[in-house]
Chain A
Amino acid sequence: MTDMLRVENLSVSFSSRAGRIEAVKGMSFRMRAGTCVAIVGESGSGKSVCAQAIMGILPKTASVDAGKILFADPAKNGAVTNLAALDTRSEAFRQIRGGRISIIFQEPMTSLSPLHTIGNQISEALRLHKEMDKKAARAQCIELLELVRFPDPERGFDTYPFELSGGLRQRAMIAMALVCGPALLIADEPTTALDVTVQVQILGLIKELQARLGMAVLLITHDMGVVANMAEEVVVVYRGEVMEAGCVRDIFQNPGHPYLKALMKAVPLIDADPDERLVPLRAIETGEAHLLKARKNKTINDDGPILQIKSLTKSFAIRNRSFSLFKKDEDKVIAVDHISFDVKRGECLGLVGESGCGKTTVAKIIMGAINSDSGEIIYNQAGRQIHLEGLSDKELMPYRTKIQYIFQDPFGSLNPRMTVYDILSEPLSIHNMGDKKYCKEVVMELMQLVGLDPRYLNRYPHSFSGGQRQRIGIARTLTLRPELIICDEPVSALDVSIQAQVLNLLKDLQKALGLTYLFISHDLAVVNYIADRIAVMCRGHLVEIAPRELLFRQPQHPYTKALLASAPSPDLDHPLDFSSACHGVMTEPANWPEPYAARSGERPEFVDLGNGHFVRAHKNQPRMAHI
């Protein structure tokens, strides 16, 4: 056997009350030693189950029904073992698991035990597979932590997972997987839960270690951008079956299978043509809006921005010692630091930034869910300027109908004990609007508007898929005929194919109902698809705001540049620059060069670069000339 891993006709099924469910149906692929193969597919396509079958860590309810998993260990001169036939609890399998094949998971937050130190958990893997005393194990672990670029590996060895950031935990996870020098590393969505600037570091790390240690990587992902940058060969799976397999260039340039073609069209691109419409895999039929539209037209005649944010500031008190390795003790965290921007009527303003940059805090302050420390929020009510920040709960009530919120998590945001009808009509009853007949009409229309069958009104949220739930969430925000909708990462919990569907729906609704969006996202490609203007946030600062094309063509701020450079593009001709030094560094305001750097006693202002392009910098700066 020349291949290191060969999966032949593998079938895995789960037993459930409804009988056996086939998760993997006759899957076959092969891997050569030292290569990177990507398995691509939507959630539920069986790609993770396949990885679990190779590792022998399938859940109890699952079983391998047929097929072979042939693993030829290079360390044993290619002696072939059929992992599918081996008892997963046997000593022989345990030697391979963790020793010769290891895995990293998607969730760095939960995949490490919170009660044991990083060093304990890493050295455990080492001592299981190699005869080694504690001291030698510690030394080798620290060496490996250094290899995965852990800052201060000596100290890192004795830290607990919860003291580390997500990126550092994933590094620890990688160190744990690599400590025994495996022949094959399975990376199951290794960067999906991470920020883009962290993702690019982790991907770069995996690629570098793959080359240095000569191991093969089986990359499981749904992100075509990651595939384009990492893999040599690609296996596309759909509903447990391999649709297409081949080398990465063929797959991207000549996708043959209709599913793959459709998948490619559904992915938003960073450098996409603004007028090009995404084609979702499963399109939805939407109805017309009569009731909601009729009254809408009256209000769209006033000028000026619908919402003005002026010098908004919010800080949170914390009591903990230190959360990441380097943060010093602080009593306060400034989540939002003097942020000002306008939202024009009828536009979609994208608010981009990484986790913890304060974008959701801004949205919640606008919503009135939390109060700001200082600053103004001015809402334009038919020409009247209303200061929302000073209003009491009761005075705020009429404006609550004007601003609505779409949440990220389609599962947590709908009450599981309410029917869809109750969910959609609740806003009306809260605001005492309309009688029963009106209520019913509106709800029926809403369902059609988001492409759901009105017959489903009596069902409960659990009988809908994630995408359908998100559409219910969108319908709920429309009930009160709002003017401004804050979309807080509305598609980041959804699959690529569903993502396109929901994005198109949001676009269509905006046009049909004359809505204004504040669209919060961490995904530049998504924002590029939907937003007219984009504001970039970093560590509580608004660093740059510009019309979409301008921001993508001429980013000015170092953080914006780093963010754009970190986003993987599903295009083989635009590979990520893994070696670039700017990744990660520019997320720290302290590392920004002049004129962007923070100076003591002087706050950078917004410098107008023309055409609505503003960047946060110091004005009185000789070098400003070339910006």
Chain B
Amino acid sequence: MISYFVRRAGIMALTMLAISVLVFIIIQLPPGDYLTTYIEELRSQGETVDPNKIAYLRAQYGLDRPLTEQYFVWLWGMLHWDFGYSFEFDLPVSDVVGNRLWLSMVLNFTTVIFVYVISFPIGVYSATHQYSWSDHGITLLGFLGLATPNFLLALILLYLANIIFGTSIGGLMDPKFINQPWSWAKALSVLEHLWVPVVVIGTSGTAGMIRRLRANLLDELQKQYVITGRAKGLSELKLLLKYPLRLSLNPFIADIGSLLPQIVSGAVIVSAVMSLPTTGPMLLSALQSQDMYLAGSFLMFLALLTVVGMFVSDVLLAILDPRIRLEGGVRR
């Protein structure tokens, strides 16, 4: 078991290294760099650009050095918790990202909780009452939830929240709290604004989760061991919770790997529409303006979360499912 974890950790490190190379190459792929974009922008505003200043800036940011050198400088910095400098914001990357990271984590974590809390009971009900009217109704609602575009739902809910509860439109808090220190009032305001994006982002996830849980559970409910349990005299609820539900959970644990990066980056478009101060829109603009260290750090962070998420889900699966823990791979 321990040797397995050590081996996995080694593979994770190698994966991260490979991803860093890829990320760096991809960011460099579009022609030009941040400064050419910057010059373009100044020119379009009719301002003249002093070539000396450009050359100075280029040397300052290290953009005149060969690519491999730039890469190693970046990599070396990251290993020392120095994520470089955001050209656009004129601040170190860690300062730019900091606050937004927390807010998006709060938002998306709440969304995940929302998805699980809503979809589990409904999915289980739907599976145990297969082909009943309630099941058909839930299925219909689920498809509606999957099919409605998020931004449309966002606009409708924002409107309703404003009309009915008087919540200010957009953002994660009332405008007066922005750049204010944290207080109870500010936290309450965040909570008041939070539910709209949570519902919007969570709807399709909830609908998808209901469908998947229903399908998984239906598979398990057919199995012989369920009848064995019933023949033992177990009550239906206990039976359901102990055997088929437990066995149908594996795919959801395996999902954690893709869930973690979603918590940080998720729902870029919705965030843009609702002008949420989360990291999604920031990643988008960083990529557009070729703000390479900001974009690179973001992507690396997402990659790290994916890899760690996969690791966590593998470990959890090994703990929860003795077949994975004890069987090893039997080869034919």
Contacts and interface: CB of A to CB of B under 8 A. Distances in A.
Contacts of B246: 115
Contacts, number: 90
Contacts of A116: 242-243
Contact of B228 (A105, A129, A162, A320): A105
Contacts of B223: 110
Residue of B228, B323, B331 with most partner-chain A CB within 10 A? B228
Interface string B310-332: 00000000001111001111111
B234 interface: yes
A124 B231 contact: no
Interface string A147-185: 000000000000010110000000001001000000000
A237 to B, nearest CB: 21
Interface in A99-144: 99, 102-103, 105, 107, 110-117, 121, 124-125, 128-129
B236 interface: yes
Given A107-B224, A110-B224, A162-B323, A129 B230 contact: no
Given A97-B230, A97-B232, A111-B224, A321 B326 contact: yes
B233 A94 contact: yes
Given A89-B236, A113-B243, A317-B331, A163 B326 contact: yes
Interface string A39-76: 00000000000000001010000000000000000000
* Consensus secondary structure, chain B interface: helix
B332 A316 contact: yes
A421 to B, nearest CB: 33
B290 to A, nearest CB: 48
B140 interface: no
A619 to B, nearest CB: 36
Contacts of A114: 225, 247, 322-323
Given A111-B225, A115-B247, A320-B328, A128 B230 contact: no
B231 A113 contact: no
Nearest to B243: A113
A113 B229 contact: yes
Contacts of A585: none
Interface in B259-294: none
A379 to B, nearest CB: 26
B234 A320 contact: no
Contact of A57 (B231, B242, B243, B327): B231
A124 B326 contact: no
Contact of A318 (B228, B235, B330): B330
A124 B327 contact: no
Interface in A434-451: none
Given A57-B227, A115-B321, A319 B330 contact: yes
Contact of A113 (B225, B328, B332): B225
A413 interface: no
A103 B231 CA distance: 7
B228 A95 contact: no
Given A111-B228, A113-B247, A160-B326, A129 B331 contact: no
A570 interface: no
A115 B235 contact: no
A358 interface: no
Interface residues of B, number: 28
A98 interface: yes
A162 B322 CA distance: 9
Contact of A125 (B233, B235, B321, B330): B233
B184 to A, nearest CB: 45
Contacts of A102: 231-232
A125 B233 CA distance: 7
A290 B76 CA distance: 82
Nearest to A113: B225
Contacts of B234: 94, 98, 124, 128
Contacts of B233: 94-99, 125, 128-129
Nearest to B234: A128
A241 B229 CA distance: 29
A185 to B, nearest CB: 11
Contacts of A115: 246-247, 320-323
Nearest to B222: A59
Nearest to B325: A160
Interface string B235-262: 1100000110011000000000000000
Interface in B162-193: none
Given A98-B232, A102-B231, A320-B328, A160 B323 contact: yes
B328 A321 contact: yes
B330 A320 contact: yes
A94 B326 contact: no
A111 B242 CA distance: 15
Contacts of A99: 233
Contacts of B247: 113-115
Contacts of B229: 113
A176 B232 CA distance: 8
A96 B243 CA distance: 21
A125 B242 CA distance: 13
B250 to A, nearest CB: 9
B247 to A, nearest CB: 6
Nearest to A163: B326
Given A318-B331, A319-B330, A128 B227 contact: no
A463 B19 CA distance: 53
A616 to B, nearest CB: 27
A52 B35 CA distance: 77
B225 A110 contact: yes
Contact of B231 (A55, A107, A162): A55
A94 B235 contact: yes
Contacts of A173: 228
Contacts of B330: 318-320, 323
Contacts of B232: 97-98, 102, 124-125, 128, 176
A57 B322 contact: no
Nearest to A107: B224
Contacts of B329: 319-320
A594 to B, nearest CB: 35
A115 B247 CA distance: 7
A346 to B, nearest CB: 34
B125 to A, nearest CB: 16
Nearest to B223: A110
A319 B230 CA distance: 36
A624 B331 CA distance: 41
B233 to A, nearest CB: 3
Nearest to A323: B330
A99 B233 CA distance: 7
Residue of A97, A102, A111 with most partner-chain B CB within 10 A? A111
State the 6 A-B residue pairs at the shortest beta-carbon distance, nearest first.
A98-B233, A98-B232, A110-B224, A94-B233, A113-B225, A125-B232
Given A89-B236, A95-B233, A102-B232, 17 more contacts: A57-B231, A97-B230, A102-B231, A113-B225, A113-B228, A115-B247, A115-B321, A117-B322, A124-B232, A125-B232, A160-B326, A162-B323, A163-B326, A176-B228, A317-B331, A318-B330, A320-B327
Interface of A: 55, 57, 89, 94-99, 102-103, 105, 107, 110-117, 121, 124-125, 128-129, 160, 162-163, 173, 176, 316-321, 323
21 contacts: A57-B231, A89-B235, A94-B233, A94-B235, A96-B233, A105-B224, A112-B225, A113-B229, A115-B246, A115-B321, A116-B243, A125-B232, A129-B233, A160-B322, A162-B322, A173-B228, A316-B331, A318-B331, A319-B329, A320-B327, A320-B329
